[in-house]
């Protein structure tokens, strides 16, 4: 292992001058031992002088420039003379490099955490339906007489008896409040009971309700649509947006009646459908057919106008629910 390797490994190299002096002293020592044994004082004195010279020379050799450092320098490299300033600087402890880099490391722009898509569970707001355009008429734009969700002005059957409002507009003038026709002009001066036919559940005051005298329903259909037989379609039915019972239409809200129900019931085939005909079979009064001849004040087949607290057009003597629209358990038409 040479000096350079010793320096590389951290072990302090032995200076050459020290080796030379040590070798010289060893040689002097040997000479002195031989001189003493042989009794040669002159040789002893010479060896002592040489030893003294070596001891004096050692401090001088120690002052020589570091020989080992020069030998370990790269071949051809000339060691630069150390200036006073550099020597002073070398004595100063080298400051440790700052751990903080002088060049600021740009902060990486954090990637924004994508906002998770929120699955809408809220019931979407229904798209407002366009304002329904209803035919201009004198029907109310705010009242819903039969409570089917369609105001009278937009309802094809405002009283839910199966007879279209247009069929109860007898003058076909688009005015519905001028069609109050109960009675018989031959025996009374003025017709009517105060309720126009489109809102009247018994338009001729004969005790047979319009629902049973109007369309040619079978008994089974009546049981399906008006189970309590109060003369008004039950609330459990579907009436759609036009207020006409869907079951009567070719398709919901078509406004077109099924062929079998398209015509109004007209038993005797005269010019009056049964619901405004006091003698539907042209033989007997309908009021008599339901065995209520006792209510015929004028002998003309109709019930005289009386109190009508619920305003449904059903006269009180035959109204089983005077305070509610309709008259439950009313008799079916005898012409089924």
The binding site for Ca ion (CB under 5 A) comprises 144, 146, 148, 150, 155, 157, 159, 161, 163, 180, 182, 193, 195, 200, 202, 204, 206, 208, 243, 313
d(CA 262, CA 278): 22
CB-based contacts of 197, cutoff 8 Å, min separation 6: 168, 170, 176, 179, 180, 181, 203, 276
Residue closer to Ca ion (CB basis): 3 or 197: 197
Residue 159 or 296: the one with the smaller Cβ distance to Ca ion is 159
Which of 51/288 has CB closer to Ca ion?
288
Cβ at position 292, least distance to Ca ion in Å: 12
- Token pair for residue 126? 């229904």
Residues in the chain: 336
* Calpha distance 176→198 (Å, rounded): 7
> Bridge-partner residues for 257, per DSSP?
249
Q: Which residue, 51 or 163, has its beta carbon nearer to Ca ion?
A: 163
Least CB distance from residue 260 to Ca ion, whole Å? Answer: 18
Least Cβ distance, residue 210 to Ca ion (angstroms): 6
Instruction: Provide the token pair at 6.
Output: 């010793």
The three-state secondary structure class of 220 is helix
* 7 sits in which H/E element: helix 3-9
Residue pair 211/232 in contact by the 8 Å Cβ criterion: yes
Beta carbon nearer to Ca ion, 159 or 230: 159
* Closest distance of CB 299 from Ca ion, Å: 18
CB of 227 to Ca ion, least distance (A): 19
Nearer to Ca ion, 150 or 245 (CB): 150
Separation CA 44–CA 63 (nearest Å): 30
Q: Tell me how far the alpha carbon of residue 237 is from its chain's centroid.
A: 32
Query: Minimum CB separation from Ca ion for residue 112, in Å?
Result: 56
Is residue 287 within 8 Å of 278, Cβ to Cβ? yes
């Amino acid at each position: 292992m040479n000096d350079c390797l010793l320096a590389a490994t951290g072990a302090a190299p032995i200076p050459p001058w020290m080796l030379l002096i040590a070798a010289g002293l060893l040689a002097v020592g040997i000479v002195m031992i031989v001189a003493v044994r042989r009794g040669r004082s002159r040789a002893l004195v010479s060896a002592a002088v040489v030893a003294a010279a070596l001891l004096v020379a050692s401090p001088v050799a120690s002052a020589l420039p570091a020989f080992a450092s020069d030998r370990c320098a790269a071949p051809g490299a000339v060691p630069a003379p150390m200036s006073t300033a550099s020597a002073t600087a070398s004595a100063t402890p080298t400051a440790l490099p700052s751990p903080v880099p002088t060049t600021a490391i740009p902060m990486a722009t954090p990637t924004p955490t994508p906002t998770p898509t929120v699955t809408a569970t809220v019931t979407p707001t229904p798209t407002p339906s366009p304002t329904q355009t209803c035919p201009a008429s004198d029907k109310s734009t705010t009242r819903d007489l039969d409570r089917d969700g369609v105001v009278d002005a937009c309802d094809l059957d405002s009283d839910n008896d199966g007879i279209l409002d247009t069929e109860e507009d007898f003058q076909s003038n688009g005015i519905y409040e001028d069609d109050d026709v109960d009675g018989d002009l031959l025996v009374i001066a003025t017709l009517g009971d105060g309720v126009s036919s489109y809102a009247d559940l018994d338009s001729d005051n004969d005790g047979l309700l319009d629902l049973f005298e109007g369309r040619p329903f079978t008994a089974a259909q009546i049981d399906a649509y008006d189970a309590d037989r109060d003369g008004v379609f039950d609330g459990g039915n579907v009436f759609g947006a036009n207020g006409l019972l869907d079951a009567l239409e070719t398709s919901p809200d078509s406004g077109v009646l099924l062929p079998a129900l398209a015509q109004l019931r007209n038993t005797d085939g005269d010019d009056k459908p049964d619901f405004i005909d006091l003698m539907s079979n042209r033989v007997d009064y309908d009021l008599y057919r339901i065995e209520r001849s006792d209510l015929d004040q004028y002998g003309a087949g109709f019930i005289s106008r009386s109190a009508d607290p619920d305003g449904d057009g059903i006269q009180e003597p035959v109204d089983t629910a005077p305070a509610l629209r309709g008259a439950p358990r009313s008799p079916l038409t005898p012409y089924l």
